[in-house]
Amino acid sequence: MIYTIYPFKDATIYEKTESLNTGLDSILELSHEKVNNSTATYNSRILMYFNLNDLQDKINSSIIPTSASYYLSLRTTDVKEVPQEYKIYAYPVSSSWTNGTGQYASRPNMTDGVSWKYRTSKQSAVEWEPTQSLNPNVTGSYYTKKGGGTWWTYNNLICSESFYYQSSDVYMNITPMVNSWINGTISNDGLILKFEDTIETLPEYFSSLKFFGVDSNTIYVPRLQVIWDDSTFTTGSLSEVADENININVKLKKYYSKDEKSKIRIYANKKYPQKTYTTEAYQLINYFLPETSYYEIRDAHSDEIIIPFSTEGTKISCDENGNYFNLWMNCFQPERFYRVVVKIEKENGNNVQIFDNNFYFKVTR
């Protein structure tokens, strides 16, 4: 199962405009800028907060296991002058912050929420304070102007993703960080994303990575994916269908409410059945798919992968009636159509079949 949680709030904080709030901006940005003929170096970082109360309830109720993995997913909208190799770090924020109502292009600049210098607002004047004397496990960094956030420095909570000649979309494993929030090791004040120090301190360089934010009104908003294996596999009296002779039908309703939790059936039969005497229609004889079968969910309009194939999170189950998988519709943005794709792997992945036969459904409010 892959369960999706969307951010409750996010913002970019800019060193160059230290009191600027961008709490309602549709774009999030990691950037580094060295001003010509000056010693000034300016960076920007991203703050993001997920409300985990519902997740905590599901874990306490054993609906989601404590062994689940957690991945932060961000979709790139613009890339400028990033190195061929670089690294992005995520740290758990050590202080609460106020989202605010500003945008980067607001004129005059809004200062009613979090910024590089202030974690609440310029008006309240509550600054980021990485004072190690108060707590040796809290730190922060800046290069020209004081601020830039504060975060916990426990080694096992520091998460990162390395990029090497590849897409700048982020898909970062932040399992240790989320577990620390869930088990109460540290309070959940969100996370901060930043370039590695070697980029933030470059003497002459400009880099910018822009991502869609939660206020972008697109399907590309950030998300936290909760991944665990909820599959079971009991074939009963069913027979496995042959590799070269598979016909698949995913049994879907046309519309699902966003609050539904559905068991989606997959019926497999022979595409070219042998002619034998029988009183049952060939199309009604059900077979089971191999245990190494998976599903994927795509946005029907943009073809964006919403739930990817995953050996851990999207294994197809089987019972005595055939194959199925469980799907929680609150993982999807409502009033959109989605498409189910099925993949079968055999021979350690050397034999792969993809079934993309226009299996559509819509999630409604």
Q: Could you report the per-residue pLDDT of 99-152, keeping only the tens digit for each?
A: 999 999 988 999 999 999 999 999 999 999 865 556 888 999 998 999 999 999
> Are both 218 and 266 inside the same structural domain?
no
Structure tokens belonging to residue 26: 């549709």
| pTM attached to this predicted model | 0.92
Q: Is residue 235 part of a domain?
A: no
> CA 187, CA 184: separation in Å to the nearest integer?
6
- Give the list of residues 6+ apart from residue 100 with CB closer than 8 angstroms, or none: 11, 21, 22, 23, 24, 110, 111, 112, 113, 114, 115, 121
> Are both 8 and 72 inside the same structural domain?
yes
Q: What is the CATH number of the domain that holds 261?
A: 2.60.40.2710
Q: Is residue 21 part of a domain?
A: yes
Higher pLDDT: 283 or 126? It is 126
- Whether the bond into 308 is cis, omega within 30 of 0: no
Count of domains for the chain: 2
Closest residue by Cα to residue 306 from 188, 195, 225: 225
Closest residue by Cα to residue 345 from 321, 320, 315: 315
> CA 270, CA 247: separation in Å to the nearest integer?
6
Residue where one domain finishes, among candidates 200, 227, 254: 227
Least confident residue range of 14-28, 126-140, 183-197, 223-237: 126-140
> CA 297, CA 314: separation in Å to the nearest integer?
10
> CA 204, CA 160: separation in Å to the nearest integer?
24
Q: What is the pLDDT of residues 198-254, one digit of tens each?
A: 899 887 778 899 999 999 988 899 999 999 999 999 998 888 877 677 889 999 999
> Are both 187 and 267 inside the same structural domain?
no
Residue where one domain finishes, among candidates 227, 254, 277: 227
- Give the list of residues 6+ apart from residue 177 with CB closer than 8 angstroms, or none: 70, 90, 92, 157, 159, 191
**pLDDT value of position 165:** 84
> CA 206, CA 34: separation in Å to the nearest integer?
7
> Are both 208 and 261 inside the same structural domain?
no
> Are both 336 and 215 inside the same structural domain?
no
- φ, ψ at 96 (rounded to 5°): -70, 160
> Are both 199 and 280 inside the same structural domain?
no
Range of the domain at 299: 246-364
Residue 55 has pLDDT above 90, yes or no: yes
Q: Is residue 91 part of a domain?
A: yes
Contact between 134 and 128 under an 8 Å Cβ cutoff? The reply is no
Beta strands in 82-167 (DSSP E): 85-92, 138-139, 151-152, 159-164
Q: Is residue 283 part of a domain?
A: yes
pLDDT grade, residue 11 (50/70/90)? Answer: very high
> Are both 219 and 270 inside the same structural domain?
no
> Are both 183 and 285 inside the same structural domain?
no
Beta strands in 216-280 (DSSP E): 223-227, 246-251, 255-257, 261-270
> CA 332, CA 337: separation in Å to the nearest integer?
10
pLDDT grade, residue 155 (50/70/90)? Answer: confident
Phi/psi-derived region of residue 136, left when phi > 0, alpha when psi is between -120 and 50, beta in every other case:
alpha
Contact between 80 and 207 under an 8 Å Cβ cutoff? The reply is yes
- As a dihedral over the C-alpha atoms of residue 144, residue 145, residue 149, residue 153, rounded to 10 degrees, the angle is 40
Q: What is the mean pLDDT of residues 328-333?
A: 94
| H/E element, 170 | strand 170-173
Percent of the chain with pLDDT over 90: 76
> CA 219, CA 4: separation in Å to the nearest integer?
13
> Are both 250 and 165 inside the same structural domain?
no
Q: Is residue 170 part of a domain?
A: yes
The 3-state DSSP class for residue 291 equals coil
Q: Is residue 233 part of a domain?
A: no
**pLDDT value of position 87:** 95
> Are both 304 and 208 inside the same structural domain?
no
Q: Is residue 30 part of a domain?
A: yes
> Are both 171 and 282 inside the same structural domain?
no
Q: Is residue 236 part of a domain?
A: no
> Are both 308 and 206 inside the same structural domain?
no
